Amino acid sequence: MPKLIIDSREIEVPAGTKVIDAAERLGLMIPRFCYHPALGSLGACRVCAVKFEEGPHKGLDMSCMVEAKEGMVVSTTDKEAVNFRKYVIEWLMINHPLDCPVCDEGGHCLLQDETVSGGHGIRRYRGKKRTYEDQDLGPFVQHEMNRCIHCWRCRRFYQEFTGYRDLGAMQIGNRTYFGRSCSGALESPFSGNLIDVCPTGVFTDKPARYKGRRWDFERAPSICLHCSLGCNITGSARYREVVRVEAHHHPGVNGYFICDRGRFGFAYANHPERPRRARINGKEVSFEEAIHHTAGQLRQLRDRAGNSAIACLGSPRSSLETQVSLSRFCELLDLADPRFFLDGDVEHRVKRAVSKLDERVAISMREIEDSDFVLAVGVDPIHEAPMLALAMRQAYRKGGSVAILDPRPVSLPFEFDHLPVAIAEMDLCLNAIMKTSLAAAVPENLSREARDFCRLVVAPNAGPTAFQERAIMVGQKLMESRRPVIVCGTEMVGGRTASLAGNHALLLRCADKKAGLFYVLPGPNAFGAALVSAHREWEPILDRMEKGEIRAVVIVEADPFGMAMDQDRWNRALETLEFIAVLDYLPSSSVAKAHVVFPTCTVFDTSGSSFINQEGRVQFSSPLHHGGSPVSQVSKGSHPPRIHLDRVPGGEAKSAAEILSELVSVIAGKEQKMETGDLWAWLTTDAPAFKKLSEFYSKRESFRLVPDRQPTKDFSEAFQQETDLRGDGHMELMLVDRMFGTEELSSHSQFAREAEKPPLLIMNTSDAERLGFTQGSRVSLQVKGVHIEAGLQCVERMASGVMVLPRHRGIPWQKFEASRVSVSVDRIKRLP
C-alpha cells in the first residue's frame, strides 16, 4: 500500500491505484474528460495533468496514467500544470460551439464545469470553427457532433465495454468523427449510456430533449423495475411528468450503467390513459366513495358466500410494502392467501430458486465480472436481464469464458459456447458438464447428501446427452476455473432446474471453488413475492373461479385479464364474477374490466418503496415528485382552462399499501393500521428470514435478505425428467421475452415502443428448410383456436424442433394455455 502526498496531504492507497483516483479519495477532483472509472485510463484528453515533484516519477504528467507510488509528492496546483491544463481547455474550446443556452447538456455538462473552473473565458483563437454533419441514431440518442471534444469515451464504452461495433471513430486529426458509417438506430441495447458517459452534449437524451435543465428537475434515486436485476437509477421529473432516467452508480449491482429498456421504459408513468381517479363502473368518484363501495361489496359478499369467495391477486412488479400489505390484508380479513404469480409453474420455480440462495453462494451482478467461468442455464441475458450480458462481457474481457445452455438463439456481444439444448435436455446436459468437471477428482469428505447427489451426477447411467462432446469441453473449462458462477433462469427451464443449479453451485464449493449462484427471476420483486407467498400448495384461482367458488377478486398491480396465459378461460371466468376491484397505475385490460378502480402510485411518486432483486438484495426507491397529470406546456392554440383546484390534477393516486390499509379499516369497522414497522414485525413472526428487514429498513440501506445457510437440507430435490414436447411431428413453441415489446411496464412507454420490432417467429434453419420455409417467409400458426401470423427468422444456432415466439403485443400470445406449447407441424403454414 503506497503512501503519497498530494497537495500537502498524505494518503495511503492500494497498489495499482492511479494518482487521479488517489486524489479523488482525498476529495480532490482533478479535471478529467477521457478518464472514466469504468473505462479506465487512456491519456488522451491531457486535462488531468499534475506535477510530480518528488518520488520515482518526476515532472509534469497525466494523473490518470501514473500509478501512485511510495514517496510521491504530487501538486495539482503547480503553475506549469495549471497553465498546461488551461491550454488544454482552451484547445478543446477552439471548436466547441457556444450553444450552451440551447444545449440539453447545459447545466450538467462536465466541459462547462471544467471550462469555468479552469479559468478559460476569453477566446483567443480567431479561426473558423470546425463543423460536422450529425446523424440520426434512432429513437433514444440525439447526435450533435459539433460539440465533440474527442475524449473517446463513447467509442471505448460502445466498442470495448459493451462489444458493439456500429458506432466508432472515423477520420483522423481534428476531423475525427464519432458516429456510425451512416445514419441508423444504434444496435447496442446499452446505447443510452452514451448520454451518461459523454462529458458534453454530443449524445443527449432524445426523449428528454427540451424538457428542462438539471436544476428544473425534481430528482431522486430509484430502482429500475424492468427486469429482476434491480439496477439503480436516478429519475427526473418536471411539471408532474417523469422526463428522464439515468444510471445511478451502485458498486454491487449495475456499476455505472443501465440498459436502454431501463432508461427509456419509464414513460408508463406518464401514460395518457393511466388511471388517475378512482372509478366505480367507469364513473369517476372520490377515493372515499370507492373505498366505501368496495368495502360494502366485499363485506356483503363475505357474509353471503363466505370468506373463500374472495380472492386476491398481487404481482412480482409491486413493491415489498404492497405485497406484504396485501398478505396482511388477507390475513386480517381472514381471506385466502394472495397469489403473486399468474403461472403456478413459474411460482414453483421462483420459490425453488429463492430457497436455494444463501450467503454461501449468493453473489452480486458485479461479482460476475470477476468470475473466470460463467455457466448460464435457461437464460437469454440480452432479452431477460440485459445488464447481466454486460457483466458477463466484462468477465470475458478479463479472460473468463461463458457457456450458455438454452434452446433459444442466444446472442451476446462476445464469444461464448452455446449449447442449444431443449428444456427437456437441460438438466441432463448440466449434469454432464458437472460430471466432466468432477472427472479428475470427486471431492473427499463430502456429507452424505452431497455424496448421494454426486453419485447421481457422475452415474454412468445418466446417459449421453445432446451435445455430449461440447458438454465435455465446457465441463473441462469448469474444472479449470477457480471462481465459477452458475446463472440460472426461472422461466424457460425445467421444474427442478433451479434447484439443480443451486446444488451444483454447492458441489463446486465442496470442490474448493469459489462458486457463485445467480438466478434471473420474472419481475423486479419476484423474490419478494416468493418470500411473501404462502408456502402451501394451492389450487389455481382460475380453477376455483370456474367452479364458481370465487365471486370477487381484488387485483393489486397485476393484469390477469391482459397478461395471463389462457385468456379465453380468464375471460369466461370473468363473467362468473360479481365484483372486481383493481388497484393499478397501468391502463391495463384488468383496469378496463374492473368494477372499481383505484389509481395507485408508480415507483416514481410513492414515498418509499422497496424491492428485492434476484440476488435477494433489498433496495429502496425515493419519490421524485408528488405525481399527477403532466402539465401540458403546449396548448395547441388554446390556453388551458384556468381552474383552481384544491388538489393536484391527476394526483390522487395513493400507494396500494395505503389503499389496502384504508379498506381493511372500513371493512373491519375499526382502525386497522398497517404501518410498515408493524408489517415487518408481523412478517418476521412467520418468516424469520425477514428479521434483518426491520433492522435495515429505517436506515434505508440496501442489504441482502438471504440467510447464512438455508434451513432446508443441501442437495435436496432429486432430478425430474422434463417432458419433451418435440418429436412425433411436433415442435415446441416457446413464448419468450424480448429486449423491447414484451415486458409489461416498458411496453406502456411510448419511447421504448419505438424500438420494438415487428412480431416474429424464430426457428432453426434446418427445421425451416424441412418445412419448406425460408428467412423472411410469413407463416401462420393455428393452435387450438389461436391464430398467429408472423415473419419467420431462421437461425443456425438454436435447438431444433423448437420455435421461439416473443410475447409481442401485436400477437394474441395470451391465448395459449401455457408458455410451453406443443404444435403439430402441419399446423404451421406458409402464407403467400
Partner 1 sequence: MIPVDVKVLFKNAQPGRPATFDEYCRGGGYQALSEAIRKLAPKDVTRKVKDSGLRGRGGAGFPAGLKWAGIPEKAGFPRYVIANTDEMEPGTFKDRVLVNTDPHMVIEGTILAGYAVSAQRGIFFIRPSYETDAELLERELQVARAAGYLGKNILGSDFSFDIVVHRSGGRYICGEATAQVNAIMGNRPHPIKGGPHMAEQGLWKRPTLVNNVETLACAPHILQHGPEWFKSLAKTETGAGTKLYGVSGKVHQPGCYELPMGTRLGEIIEEAAGGMMRGSEFKAALPGGASTAFMPKQYYDIEMDFEALKKAGHRLGTGSIVVFDRQSCLVAATLNLTEFFVRESCGLCTPCREGLPFIRDLLWRIENGEGKEGFIPMLREMSAHMRHAYCAFAPGAAEPVEGLLLYFEEEIREHISQRKCPFGEHGTDHAETHH
Residue type, 656: A
Which secondary-structure segment (H or E) carries 153?
A: helix 153-155
Residues 6+ apart with CB under 8 A from 15: 1, 2, 67
397 binds partner 1 (CB under 8 A): no
Stretch that binds partner 1, among 114-122, 125-133, 466-474, 822-830 (CB under 8 A): 125-133
Pick from 3, 87, 451, 822 the residue near partner 1 by CB under 8 A: 87
Closest alpha carbon to 263 in 160, 345, 386, 150: 386
Stretch that binds partner 1, among 138-146, 148-156, 410-418, 457-465 (CB under 8 A): 148-156
Pick from 77, 83, 712, 721 the residue near partner 1 by CB under 8 A: 83
Residue 94 or 783: the one with the smaller Cβ distance to partner 1 is 94
| Minimum CB distance to partner 1, residue 90 (Å) | 8
* Residue 567 DSSP SS3: helix
Q: How far apart are CA 832 and CA 158, in angstroms?
A: 41
| Minimum CB distance to partner 1, residue 430 (Å) | 34
Residue type, 45: C
| Minimum CB distance to partner 1, residue 143 (Å) | 18
Residue 155 or 808: the one with the smaller Cβ distance to partner 1 is 155
The residues in 756-815 that bind partner 1, with binding defined as CB under 8 A, are: none
Residue 127 or 772: the one with the smaller Cβ distance to partner 1 is 127
500 binds partner 1 (CB under 8 A): no
The residues in 554-573 that bind partner 1, with binding defined as CB under 8 A, are: none
| Minimum CB distance to partner 1, residue 9 (Å) | 25
Residues 6+ apart with CB under 8 A from 235: 219, 220, 221, 222, 242, 244, 245, 266, 604, 624
Q: Angle CA(87)–CA(35)–CA(230) in degrees, nearest 5? A: 145
Stretch that binds partner 1, among 118-126, 272-280, 468-476, 780-788 (CB under 8 A): 118-126
| Minimum CB distance to partner 1, residue 200 (Å) | 13
Residue 60 or 458: the one with the smaller Cβ distance to partner 1 is 60
| Minimum CB distance to partner 1, residue 95 (Å) | 7
Residue 65 or 592: the one with the smaller Cβ distance to partner 1 is 65
DSSP state letters, 17-28 = -BHHHHHHHTT-
636 binds partner 1 (CB under 8 A): no
647 binds partner 1 (CB under 8 A): no
173 binds partner 1 (CB under 8 A): yes
Using the 8-state DSSP alphabet, how is residue 758 labeled?
P
Residue 39 or 825: the one with the smaller Cβ distance to partner 1 is 39
Pick from 88, 403, 582, 739 the residue near partner 1 by CB under 8 A: 88
Pick from 176, 308, 684, 780 the residue near partner 1 by CB under 8 A: 176
The residues in 90-109 that bind partner 1, with binding defined as CB under 8 A, are: 90-92, 94-95
Residues 6+ apart with CB under 8 A from 141: 186, 191, 192, 194, 195, 203, 204, 205, 206
Pick from 32, 147, 150, 248 the residue near partner 1 by CB under 8 A: 150
Residue 49 or 500: the one with the smaller Cβ distance to partner 1 is 49
555 bridge partner residues: 313, 582
Cell matching residue 316: 412480482
Residues 6+ apart with CB under 8 A from 191: 137, 138, 140, 141, 158, 167, 260
| Minimum CB distance to partner 1, residue 4 (Å) | 18
Residues 6+ apart with CB under 8 A from 344: 538, 540
Number of CB atoms found within 10 A of residue 566's CB: 18
| Minimum CB distance to partner 1, residue 26 (Å) | 23
Q: Angle CA(718)–CA(723)–CA(725) in degrees, nearest 5? A: 155
Pick from 26, 39, 84, 305 the residue near partner 1 by CB under 8 A: 84
Q: Angle CA(409)–CA(414)–CA(420) in degrees, nearest 5? A: 25
| Minimum CB distance to partner 1, residue 148 (Å) | 11
- HEC assignment per residue over 293-342: HHHHHHHHHHHHHCHHHEEEECCCCCCHHHHHHHHHHHHHCCCCCCECCC
What residue has cell string 470475458?
396
Pick from 16, 121, 127, 711 the residue near partner 1 by CB under 8 A: 127
177 bridge partner residues: 170
| Minimum CB distance to partner 1, residue 134 (Å) | 17
Give whole-number Cα distances, 24 to 51, 116, 399, 476, in Å.
16, 20, 29, 43
Number of CB atoms found within 10 A of residue 502's CB: 26
Q: Kindly write out the interface string for residues 652-681 of this chain, putting x where it contacts partner 1 by CB under 8 A and - elsewhere.
A: ------------------------------
Residue 41 or 661: the one with the smaller Cβ distance to partner 1 is 41
Number of CB atoms found within 10 A of residue 520's CB: 25
283 in Cβ contact with 597 (< 8 Å): no
162 binds partner 1 (CB under 8 A): no
CB-count burial class (<10 Å; 0-12, 13-18, 19+) for 464:
exposed
Residue 168 or 212: the one with the smaller Cβ distance to partner 1 is 168
79 binds partner 1 (CB under 8 A): no
Residues 6+ apart with CB under 8 A from 670: none
Pick from 126, 639, 670, 699 the residue near partner 1 by CB under 8 A: 126
Pick from 1, 8, 101, 124 the residue near partner 1 by CB under 8 A: 124
Q: Angle CA(798)–CA(417)–CA(763) in degrees, nearest 5? A: 5
392 in Cβ contact with 375 (< 8 Å): no
Closest alpha carbon to 421 in 818, 802, 736, 728: 802
Binding residues for partner 1, rule CB under 8 A, total: 37
164 binds partner 1 (CB under 8 A): no
272 binds partner 1 (CB under 8 A): no
The residues in 13-72 that bind partner 1, with binding defined as CB under 8 A, are: 41, 43-47, 49, 60-61, 65
| Minimum CB distance to partner 1, residue 770 (Å) | 39
Pick from 1, 27, 128, 728 the residue near partner 1 by CB under 8 A: 128
Pick from 29, 73, 169, 285 the residue near partner 1 by CB under 8 A: 169
77 binds partner 1 (CB under 8 A): no
Residue 156 or 328: the one with the smaller Cβ distance to partner 1 is 156
| Minimum CB distance to partner 1, residue 150 (Å) | 6
148 binds partner 1 (CB under 8 A): no
Give whole-number Cα distances, 337 to 324, 345, 351, 699, 748, in Å.
11, 17, 16, 30, 29
Residues that bind partner 1 (CB under 8 A): 41, 43-47, 49, 60-61, 65, 83-84, 87-88, 90-92, 94-95, 124-131, 149-150, 152, 169, 171-176
